[in-house]
Structure 1
Amino acid sequence: MEMPLVTIAIPTHNRADSYLRDALRCAVEQTYARLDILVADNASTDGTAELVSRLRDPRVRYLRHDVAIRPNDNFNFCIAQARGEYLLLLLDDEQVDRDFVATCLDAVGGRSGIGLIRTGLRTIDGNGIVIGECPNEAAGLPIGDLFLAWFEGRTSLYLCNTLFSTRALRASGGLRSRHCLFQDVMAQVRVARASGRADVEAIKATTRSHPGQFTYSAKVREWAEDAIDLLRLMCDAAPERREAIRVKGGRFFATVSYSRANAIRAPLARLEAYLLVYRLFGYRHLPPLRVVLSATALYRVARDLKRRLKGQPRWAAAG
């Protein structure tokens, strides 16, 4: 039996001199042989084209937009251009282990048509230092319990640790949501519900957390509205677990939205954002005290002092 062709699509913009090199390297160094590697350049003005051309790898395709489009439109462009039966959407600041694709396909015996295959995830900072690890503890769980496991921090829903069935992803409408903020998770919910999934416990993918990754302060309403839409989608996907998903998911997404509000430095504007989130989530979930305190200057000073006393780097999570 011939193994499926797998597309690794890397949407990128102006990262030739930073993270794109690592994303390309982990793609071309995969132990799995049947690869189609697509670089979708969103009108970069740096040396992206030259960097890709130096690979001299016949599996690599380079497609460039002369005029910049929205990042999510570039993601869907990748989906449309994929040639493989399976697709990994690898953001240009993320990475996968050399055996990511092989491990995913081994988990399903090389079969095509599985909606998505997911692994565990590690998180690194801007300097490549590991700051968190999350094995995928959702193996064998029904879809509703998968959502609950995510709320509890026992699994991670990211693009880089998910191998999609290209056909199933296209049939679900690709990456789409009201504000293009939780569109990746919505796609996973739709595909898993319609076409099933497989899970790998081992950590085989890497996402990156670094300053400037998001513009939270300008998008508190948008984050909250996308979160509410996602919560409704999850409830519809698992009606037998609807109440547990509604309660635990509401608390989870409200906390996420409050955390986005913390990026607002002006105290009055931040308070207004807290009130907005409280209202949007039906006046059910007050901001956790730790979230409120984490936005204050005194908390940040105390946190940094604690880290220095413990000899921890600045990125280390406060205890």
Structure 2
Amino acid sequence: MDENDWLAERFEANRPDLRAVAYRMLGSLTEADDAVQEAWLRLSRSDTSDVNNLSAWLTTVVGRVCLDMLRSRRTRREDPLDVYVPDPVVSRADGIEPEQEALLADSVGLALLVVLDTLAPAERLAFVLHDMFAVPFDDIAAIVDRTPTAARQLASRARRRVQGSAPVPEADLSRQRQVVDAFLAASRGGDFDALVAVLDPDVLLRADYGTLPLGVSKRVRGAKAVASQALLFSRFAPFAKPALVNGAAGVVTAPDGRPLAVMAFTVTDGRIVEIDILADPERLRRLDLTFLDD
């Protein structure tokens, strides 16, 4: 085996973990794949003869690529999107596909990714690499061009934001499913009181329609307001198919087999505390929803 084949083999062995890093950094499956591909191009052009830990080297390269992409994204978004739901990882209700396991390790729900998207790029990188992948602050400092102490402070600030904003989901998946099923049953039946009962009083709903002319992306807070929204779209409830969305109980709404929306639910203490809806047709087309055909 020549050196190029050996590097390619090692890279493929690391690809799932690298994609997991990029997904947490970017919240986009397409951009995560682009970042991983860029890491391969940099590897293929580099002299790695003095690299003792190729996995760590690749992780820092992906981190640096993602940092550049985040900074570029902020520059492009002169008018920040009012509501943006990150790309969900959707799988069958009966289990996560093997290739998705690395992506979803550490319970990376959409609610957490939404909070990560509010962080400054350097804060996000420091938090993701250190807290989720145990990258030393010395290595992170080199990526963000700061001292290790400054890198530690970046991660600390990000950690406080995450802990104060991202709800902790119910660990029992069967309990999550019971709560989500109760929500759907109440929606189908037009039962406003039952909807309110299954929602946390301060529940937050985010709906990302992209540029869809028939809908407006929105953020709705409060049990009564969210219940009212659910009743407005109750005609679609019969088409909701159970799924796992980022490893948690969710649904895919697909009238006539055509995906209309992916809904992610965050359940805490027996009630729904957050609902994240992706209904952007262009982004839905890029998701792997082939299990709907089964």
* TM-score normalized by the length of structure 1: 0.28
* TM-score, scaled to structure 2: 0.29
**Which of the pair is proportionally richer in helix?**
2
